Structure 1
Amino acid sequence: MKTDRRACLRALAALPLWLALPAAADDLETIRSRGRLRIAVYNDFPPYALRGKGIDIDLGRAIAEKLGLAPEIVGFNADEDMNDDLRNMVWKGHYLGTQPADVMMHVPVDEHLARANDKVRILAPYHRESLALARDPSRIPNALSGSAAVALEIFTREKVGVETTTLADAFLLGALNGRLHDNIVHYRSVAEAAAGLKAGKVAAVLAPQGELEAALTAETRFAIDAARFAELKIDGWPLGLAVKAEQSSLAEALAAAVAELKQDGTVAAIFKRHGITYQPA
Structure 2
Amino acid sequence: MVRRLSLALAIGVALPGGAVARCEGYVPQARPQNTFAQDVGREFDRILTDGWIEFAVYADYAPWSFEEKGRAAGVDVEVGRLIAKALGVEPKFRLVAAGENLEADLMNYVWKGAAVGGRVSDVMLHVPYDSELVCRIEQVTFTGQYAAENIAIAYQGADYEEKGPTPPFFRFDPVAVENDSIADFYLTSLIGPAGKIHRFRSTAAAMDGLAAGDTKAAMGPRAELEAGIVRHPEGGLKVHSPPLVGFARGNWTIGVGVSFQHRDLAYAVDDAIENALGDGEISRIFAQYGLTFTPPQR
User: Do they superpose with TM above 0.5?
Assistant: yes
Following superposition, the deviation at residue 219 of structure 1 comes to 3.9
Q: Does residue 202 of structure 2 align to residue 182 of structure 1?
A: no
Unpaired stretches in structure 2, ≥5 consecutive residues: 21-30, 32-39
Q: Is the 8 A contact 2:151 2:221 kept in 1?
A: yes
How is 1:84-95 mapped onto 2 (pairs within 5 angstroms)?
A: 84-95=104-115
Greater mean alpha carbon deviation, residues 259-268 or residues 27-36: 27-36
Q: Is the 8 A contact 2:142 2:255 kept in 1?
A: yes
Listed one character per residue, the Cα deviations across residues 164-215 of structure 1 (whole Å, up to 9, x for unaligned) are 2222112111103x2x532211111111001111121111111111111111
Q: Is the 8 A contact 2:10 2:128 kept in 1?
A: no
Following superposition, the deviation at residue 8 of structure 1 comes to 4.1
- 1:34 paired residue number: 50
Q: Which amino acid aligns with 1:34?
A: D
> 244, 250, 269: which is aligned to 2:284?
269
Q: Is the 8 A contact 1:10 1:167 kept in 2?
A: yes
How is 1:55-204 mapped onto 2 (pairs within 5 angstroms)?
A: 55-144=75-164, 151-176=166-191, 178=192, 180-204=193-217
Rounded to whole Å, the distance in 1 between the matches of 2:110 and 2:268 is 17
Rounded to whole Å, the distance in 2 between the matches of 1:153 and 1:269 is 35
- 2:28 paired residue number: none
The CA RMSD measured in Å over matched residues stands at 2.3
Following superposition, the deviation at residue 227 of structure 1 comes to 3.6
Following superposition, the deviation at residue 62 of structure 1 comes to 1.0
Following superposition, the deviation at residue 245 of structure 1 comes to 1.3
Q: Is the 8 A contact 1:131 1:168 kept in 2?
A: yes
Q: Which amino acid aligns with 1:9?
A: A
Rounded to whole Å, the distance in 1 between the matches of 2:220 and 2:141 is 27
Q: Which amino acid aligns with 1:211?
A: E
Q: Is the 8 A contact 2:57 2:77 kept in 1?
A: yes
The structure-2 alpha-carbon separation of the partners of 1:143 and 1:92, relative to structure 1 and needing over 3 Å to count, comes to farther
Rounded to whole Å, the distance in 2 between the matches of 1:212 and 1:134 is 6
Following superposition, the deviation at residue 220 of structure 1 comes to 4.6
Counterpart of 1:228 in 2: which secondary structure? coil
Rounded to whole Å, the distance in 2 between the matches of 1:160 and 1:255 is 39
**When the two structures are aligned, how many residues end up with a matched partner?**
270
> 36, 45, 70: which is aligned to 2:61?
45
Following superposition, the deviation at residue 235 of structure 1 comes to 1.9
Q: Is the 8 A contact 2:229 2:238 kept in 1?
A: no
Following superposition, the deviation at residue 113 of structure 1 comes to 2.1
Identity %: 29
TM-score, reference length from structure 1: 0.88
- 1:256 paired residue number: 271
- 1:231 paired residue number: 246
The runs of at least 4 aligned residues of structure 1 exceeding 6 Å deviation read none
Q: Which amino acid aligns with 1:245?
A: F
- 1:242 paired residue number: 257
Listed one character per residue, the Cα deviations across residues 94-128 of structure 1 (whole Å, up to 9, x for unaligned) are 23424211000001001112223221111111000
Rounded to whole Å, the distance in 2 between the matches of 1:110 and 1:219 is 38
Following superposition, the deviation at residue 135 of structure 1 comes to 0.9
- 2:37 paired residue number: none
Greater mean alpha carbon deviation, residues 194-203 or residues 95-104: 95-104
Unpaired stretches in structure 1, ≥5 consecutive residues: 146-150
Q: Is the 8 A contact 2:66 2:95 kept in 1?
A: no
Q: Which amino acid aligns with 1:35?
A: G
